[in-house]
Amino acid sequence: MLQQFNLVVSKDLTSTSHVQGRTFVGGDAVAQDFVQKPAQVAASNYAGVTVLGNMSGNNNDAHVDALGLYVGGSTNKVIVNKGDAYIGGSATGGGFSDNTWVNGTATDVNQNGAFHASSSNRNINNPLAAETSTMLTNKAAATSTNFGQVMTGLSTQLSALKGTKDASVSIDDATHSKVTFTGTANSSGLLVFDLTGATDGNIFSSNITDFYFNLTGATTVIFNTDDKNLTLNANFQNAESNGSKFIWNFAGAQSVTVGRTFGGQVLVADGTFSNINGANVEGGVYAKNVNEYGQIHIQAFSGAIPAAVPEPETYAMLLAGLGIVGFIGRRRQKAAAAR
């Protein structure tokens, strides 16, 4: 998910801006522009844009610039500039440049490639006899994965990671507005910041104007929070270069809002993420609902997701359990020998 997609929304998307990479929406999408940088998008069986519900333009037409489109429902004012398009319902307005299959009615749709619709108020000059292999592949992929469960599972896994021992977060004494994250990664390049409790409420506040990072040897940096509602309007040091190695795990959050450029993969598995006032995200966004009023840029995750390490008391329980299993096994062996 983190490599294939720039944006994953398990429910609904509202957007007035663009997404540079591949997008998946499990509900409805009211949007503007997608797949602006196809050369940077990883290979996948998914179309450039997949929407399981309905898709429409936000005021103007919605554009898919490359890699095609799969929509399970209907489209309204959607233009696909490149790639095969499959529409499970009807299509109204917009246009399609390549092979297009509309299961329902096509109304005022511009057709520049081979085209199929159950009926159309415009002549179909180049009929498409059957769905293409690309359409069939995109369709199979579209419903193959429950991304809501994937996001929740990932969030739970990351939340179980213990904070790195020397990782610290400080707020400057002079202005109480600058936050510095400091830490040294382990031998695998992993650095985990535990921001739960009062910490996340202090750093995600209206008083904070700047985020700074002093990270040694880190190739994967996890930030775990647990607040329900978080808002940040801080300048973000090296957002672009840090975006590919950061994951912000907003576990349990209902709402996360950023008002300035933000760096890293944003995970709001069971809540709404909003980037407002033209704030760009340098990294992927993975959330239940998304309100996108700034750009989402490709900074594909380049780190490694670590397996959760059991707490010391969990180890004790595991060892005790193994001891019990061993004891039972030995008793069974003795009993068998006696027989």
Assess if residue 233 is contained within a domain.
yes
The pTM (predicted TM-score) of the whole model is 0.90
| pLDDT 10s digits, 259-278 | 999 999 999 999 999 999 99
Give the span between the Cα atoms of 294 and 109, in whole angstroms. Answer: 29
Contact by Cβ (8 Å): 32, 63: yes
* 161, 141: one domain: no
List all residues 6 or more positions away from 172 whose beta carbon is below 8 Å from its beta carbon.
Answer: 178, 180
Assess if residue 311 is contained within a domain.
no
Give the span between the Cα atoms of 31 and 239, in whole angstroms. Answer: 25
* 161, 106: one domain: no
Q: Give the residue from 100, 124, 145 where a domain finishes.
A: 145
Give the span between the Cα atoms of 151 and 154, in whole angstroms. Answer: 5
Average pLDDT over residues 286-310: 91
* 52, 180: one domain: no
Asked whether the predicted pLDDT for residue 206 surpasses 60, the reply is yes
What does the pLDDT read at residue 337?
Answer: 42
Q: Give the residue from 85, 115, 145 where a domain finishes.
A: 145
Q: Mean pLDDT lowest for which of 3-17, 149-163, 188-202, 323-337?
A: 323-337
* 81, 197: one domain: no
What does the pLDDT read at residue 293?
Answer: 97
Contact by Cβ (8 Å): 62, 55: yes
Assess if residue 267 is contained within a domain.
yes
The pLDDT mean for the chain works out to 92
* 11, 136: one domain: yes
Average pLDDT over residues 49-75: 98
Domains in the chain: how many in total? 2
Give the span between the Cα atoms of 181 and 270, in whole angstroms. Answer: 26
Assess if residue 332 is contained within a domain.
no
What does the pLDDT read at residue 338?
Answer: 40
* 136, 161: one domain: no
Asked whether the predicted pLDDT for residue 328 surpasses 90, the reply is no
Give the span between the Cα atoms of 199 and 179, in whole angstroms. Answer: 11
Half-sphere exposure at residue 237, Cβ-oriented, CA atoms within 13 angstroms: 10
> What's 226's DSSP letter?
-
What does the pLDDT read at residue 150?
Answer: 97
Domain range holding 270? 157-297
What does the pLDDT read at residue 308?
Answer: 60
Name the band, by pLDDT with cuts 50, 70 and 90, for residue 10: very high
* 161, 255: one domain: yes
Q: Give the residue from 279, 297, 315 where a domain finishes.
A: 297
* 195, 286: one domain: yes
Contact by Cβ (8 Å): 25, 51: yes
